[in-house]
Structure 1
Amino acid sequence: MGSMEQNSNRTFIHDYPNSNIITTIYYESSGKSHSRKYIIHLLGIYPSNVKKTKKTSKNCPEYEIPDNYKVETTLEGYSIICETNYLSNGTVKFVLNWTDSQGIDQYISNNNSASGVAKNFLMLLNKKTRISGTILFGFDISCLIKARKTILMPINRKNSFTTLTSRSQQNKRIKLLAKDIEKESKIILKQQNFDNTKIRYIELEIGDEIVGIDLSEVNLDFTRVRQDAVVCACDEALISRDGYRHLAAISPNLEREYQISNRRNEISKYMETIIPIYNCKIELDNIQNNSNNSSNSSNNNSVNPNFSLTNDQNGFCSYRSIKDLLNTLIPIWKKKSILNIGDNIKLKFGGDGHIVTNKYSHVMFTMCLLNEGDEVLKPEKQYW
Structure 2
Amino acid sequence: MAKYSQEITNYPQEPNILYKEEKHNFHYTIFQEGVYPPDSNIKYTSGHRYKIPDKYEVQTTWGKGENQKTVKCKIDYINNIPIFYVYFGQNFENQVRSDKSASNAATLLHEISKNKAILLLINVINVEINVNNNYILNKHTRSALKPVNEASNSTLTKRAKNLSTQIQNYFQDQSKNYYNQNDILNLKSLKFSTNTKSYEIYFRNQDKENKKQKVQAIVQATDQSLISREAYRSLATIEHKLPHEYLISSEKIQINKEMEVVIPIKLINMQTTRVGIGFYEEPHIIDEEIVNQMVSAIGKAGCRSIKDILKYIVPKLNNDGVLNATCPIINLRISGDGRNVGRKVKQVMVTCAILDDRKNLHFPDKHFTTVLYPGNEDYDSLKNAMALFLKELHELKEFGLEINDIIWQFNFYFSSDWKFLCICLGFNGANSKHFCPWCETSKDERGRLETNWKMTKTMEQLNFDYTVYKGHQQVPLFNMIPLDHWLIDELHVMLRITDHLWNLMLNELREMDLFDDLARGVIVKEMDHIKY
The two structures have a TM-score, normalised by structure 1, of: 0.53
Q: How many residues align?
A: 255
Aligned to 2:347: 362
Q: Any idea what SS the aligned residue of 2:154 has?
A: helix
Q: Any idea what SS the aligned residue of 2:171 has?
A: helix
2:164–2:190 contact (8 Å) kept in structure 1: no
Instruction: Evaluate the alpha carbon distance shift between residue 234 and residue 314 of structure 1 in structure 2; reply closer, same or farther with a 3 A threshold.
Output: closer
2:26–2:124 contact (8 Å) kept in structure 1: no
Structure holding more strand per residue: 1
Aligned to 1:125: none
Instruction: Evaluate the alpha carbon distance shift between residue 54 and residue 323 of structure 1 in structure 2; reply closer, same or farther with a 3 A threshold.
Output: same
- Determine if the alignment matches structure 1 residue 179 to structure 2 residue 165: yes
CA shift, 1:243, in A, is: 1.6
CA shift, 1:53, in A, is: 4.7
Which segment drifts farther, 360-369 or 194-203? Answer: 194-203
Q: Any idea what SS the aligned residue of 1:139 has?
A: helix
1:331-346 matches, cutoff 5 A: 331-341=315-325, 342-346=327-331
Q: Any idea what SS the aligned residue of 2:240 has?
A: coil
Which deviations, in whole Å up to 9, do the C-alpha atoms of 1:89-113 show, x marking residues without a partner?
xxxxxxxxxxxxxxxxxxxxxxxxx
Q: Any idea what SS the aligned residue of 2:124 has?
A: coil
- Determine if the alignment matches structure 1 residue 256 to structure 2 residue 247: no
Which segment drifts farther, 196-205 or 57-66? Answer: 57-66
- Determine if the alignment matches structure 1 residue 278 to structure 2 residue 266: yes
Which deviations, in whole Å up to 9, do the C-alpha atoms of 1:9-49 show, x marking residues without a partner?
xxxxxxxxxxxxxxxxxxxxxxxxxxxxxxxxxxxxxx989
Aligned to 2:201: 213
2:331–2:356 contact (8 Å) kept in structure 1: yes
1:67-86 matches, cutoff 5 A: 70-71=45-46, 81=47
CA shift, 1:223, in A, is: 0.8
Aligned to 1:91: none
Q: Any idea what SS the aligned residue of 2:266 has?
A: strand
CA distance, structure 2, for counterparts of residue 356 and residue 63 of structure 1: 64
CA distance, structure 2, for counterparts of residue 359 and residue 251 of structure 1: 36
Aligned to 1:330: 314
Match of 1:352 among 332, 337, 350: 337
Q: Any idea what SS the aligned residue of 2:267 has?
A: strand
CA shift, 1:186, in A, is: 2.0
CA distance, structure 2, for counterparts of residue 62 and residue 206 of structure 1: 40
Instruction: Evaluate the alpha carbon distance shift between residue 256 and residue 169 of structure 1 in structure 2; reply closer, same or farther with a 3 A threshold.
Output: same
Instruction: Evaluate the alpha carbon distance shift between residue 52 and residue 357 of structure 1 in structure 2; reply closer, same or farther with a 3 A threshold.
Output: closer
- Determine if the alignment matches structure 1 residue 190 to structure 2 residue 165: no
The two structures have a TM-score, normalised by structure 2, of: 0.40
Q: Any idea what SS the aligned residue of 1:61 has?
A: strand
2:355–2:361 contact (8 Å) kept in structure 1: yes
Match of 1:54 among 19, 22, 25: 19
CA distance, structure 1, for counterparts of residue 331 and residue 232 of structure 2: 38
Aligned to 2:368: 383
Percent sequence identity is: 25
Match of 1:238 among 211, 226, 243: 226
Structure holding more helix per residue: 2
2:335–2:351 contact (8 Å) kept in structure 1: yes
CA distance, structure 1, for counterparts of residue 260 and residue 147 of structure 2: 47
Q: Which runs of 5+ in 1 are unaligned?
A: 1-46, 72-80, 86-131, 292-300, 305-311
Instruction: Evaluate the alpha carbon distance shift between residue 367 and residue 340 of structure 1 in structure 2; reply closer, same or farther with a 3 A threshold.
Output: same
Instruction: Evaluate the alpha carbon distance shift between residue 355 and residue 60 of structure 1 in structure 2; reply closer, same or farther with a 3 A threshold.
Output: same
Which residue identity does 1:378 align to in structure 2? F
Instruction: Evaluate the alpha carbon distance shift between residue 377 and residue 218 of structure 1 in structure 2; reply closer, same or farther with a 3 A threshold.
Output: closer
CA RMSD, Structure 1 to Structure 2 (Å): 4.7
1:351–1:363 contact (8 Å) kept in structure 2: yes
1:241–1:257 contact (8 Å) kept in structure 2: yes
